[in-house]
Structures are given as C-alpha cells and as structure tokens.
Amino acid sequence: MGTSFEEKSVWIQLASMVLGLGTYFIIAGGMLSGGVREVPAFATLFLFATAFMAVLLIAGHIVAAIASRPEGRDERDRLISWRAEHNSSWVVAAGVCGAVTCMILGIENVWTANLLLLSLALSEVLGFVLQLIYYRRGL
Amino acid sequence: MAQPKAVIRNRIRVKRFEHGEMTQQALADLVGVSRQTINAIESAKYFPSLEVAFRISRVFGKPLDEVFECEFTK
C-alpha cells in the first residue's frame, strides 16, 4: 500500500519535531548544567528551535506535495488523528502534574517551564508515532 | 451480558472487478476518500462509517448488504 499525503505529513511533522525540539533540549540541557537559570535565555533558544521546525515543516510539505497529490483528510485520517491524540494526551497531563509539584516544592521556574515543554513535545511525538502505527496496522 | 462478536466483511474487490476492473483510485474519487482508505477497507484494516459504506454501495448500484456483510460469532 502506497503512502498517502496525510501519512507523509505525519512523518514530516514527527521528523521536524524530533529535530527541532531535540536540538532545543540538547542545547537547553547544556545550558542548565552550565548554570544558566534565566528564562529569557531559554525563550530565545526556543524561538530559534521553533523557527527551525517551521522551516523543516514547510520544506518537507512542499517536497511531499510535489511527490504526491494532496488529497485532503478523509474520515480515516480524522479518526486516526483523534485516536492518537486521545492515547497520547496523558503525557501532557503527567507533565502538568509534575509542573504543579515543582511549583509546590519551590523548584526554579526554568525547570518547571522546561518540564512542561518536554511533556508537550513527548506527547506530540507519541501522538505522531501512534498515528503511523494506526496507518500501518489499521484501527 | 456478553455480546456476540461482529465480524464485518466486504466484497469491494470483487465488485470493482465486476465494474470494468475499476481501480482503487477511481472508486476513491467517486466515494470521496483517499485510495489508501479504500485499500484499508478492502483489507479489513479499517471499517468505514455508514455514510462511506452507503456511498460505496451506491457507486456499485447495489444494496449495502450486497457489498458489506456482518456475521455474529460467539
């Protein structure tokens, strides 16, 4: 079975997220271990990572659109997306619980912010992986 | 109370060939879904909504139960 434009789009989103936010977390980890604690420094880094991700997403979708005709989402694509989101959203919930715990314990804001961001990134990555599994194995 | 398990099968592949060896892409275009969705339905990896099932039956000009069948097993 060939790959639809929607499935290719999921691959592109997954790769962009892993490369973009992966780069952010590698650099942010280095900054944290180097003693940087100012949130604006991480916000700037995050902005660059987001811009990098956007470039990858746009370039990837242009290439995919040239390679195969975009058909638009149908009911199967929507169901796969909903089910993957439903089964991956617990990661964000766990991250929020962790962030609240960090605040109660008085841990520095920079850790809380990065924990929230990490949970959001992991939730998205899990969602994309689940979508690809549902596309390949069926619902 | 335990419900009997429903096993849904379809004869889309047979119907396509009965309709001048219609391709999956041609059927997909007529139904309004992607070719991959037709492929997934044919290989029982995806069970369509009633709307799409009726649309497929309409393309073949057959009643729903001639294209799709449901068997209940214990």
Could you say which DSSP state residue B20 is in?
T
Distance from CA of B24 to the nearest CA of A (A): 11
- What angle, rounded to 10 degrees, do the helices at A5-33 and A39-67 form? 160
Query: Domain map of chain A by residue range?
Result: 5-137
Q: pLDDT digits over B15-64, tens only?
A: 999 999 999 999 999 999 999 999 999 999 999 999 999 999 999 999 99
Mean pLDDT of chain A, nearest integer: 94
Q: Is the pLDDT of residue A1 over 70?
A: no
The pLDDT, as a whole number, for residue A2 is 75
- The candidate with the shortest Cα–Cα distance to A116, out of A104, A100, A129, is A100
| Torsion A29-A34-A36-A40 (CA) sign | negative
CB burial string A108-129: b at 16+ within 10 A, e below? eebebbbbbbbbebbbbbbbbe
The pLDDT, as a whole number, for residue B17 is 95
- Cβ-based contacts of B36 with chain A (< 8 Å): 1-4, 7, 76, 135
Distance from CA of B1 to the nearest CA of A (A): 25
> Do the Cβ atoms of B42 and B13 come closer than 8 Å?
yes
Query: Domain map of chain B by residue range?
Result: 5-73
Q: Where does the pLDDT of residue A67 fall: very low under 50, low under 70, confident under 90, or very high at 90 and above? A: confident
- Token pair for B9: 């099968």
Q: Is the pLDDT of residue A71 over 90?
A: no
The pLDDT, as a whole number, for residue A68 is 82
Which chain A residue's Cα is nearest to B49? Answer: A75
Q: What's the CA gap between B26 and B29, in Å, rounded?
A: 5
Q: Is the pLDDT of residue A91 over 60?
A: yes
Q: pLDDT digits over A27-62, tens only?
A: 999 999 999 889 899 999 999 999 999 999 999 999
ipTM: 0.86
Q: A74 vs B34: CB contact, 8 Å cut-off?
A: yes
Best mutation site among B8, B27, B30, B34 for testing chain A: the one with the most A CBs within 10 Å? B34
Q: Is the pLDDT of residue B5 over 90?
A: no
Best mutation site among B27, B45, B50, B51 for testing chain A: the one with the most A CBs within 10 Å? B45
Which chain A residue's Cα is nearest to B38? Answer: A76
Query: What kind of fold does domain B5-73 have according to CATH?
Result: 434 Repressor (Amino-terminal Domain) (1.10.260)
The pLDDT, as a whole number, for residue B74 is 72
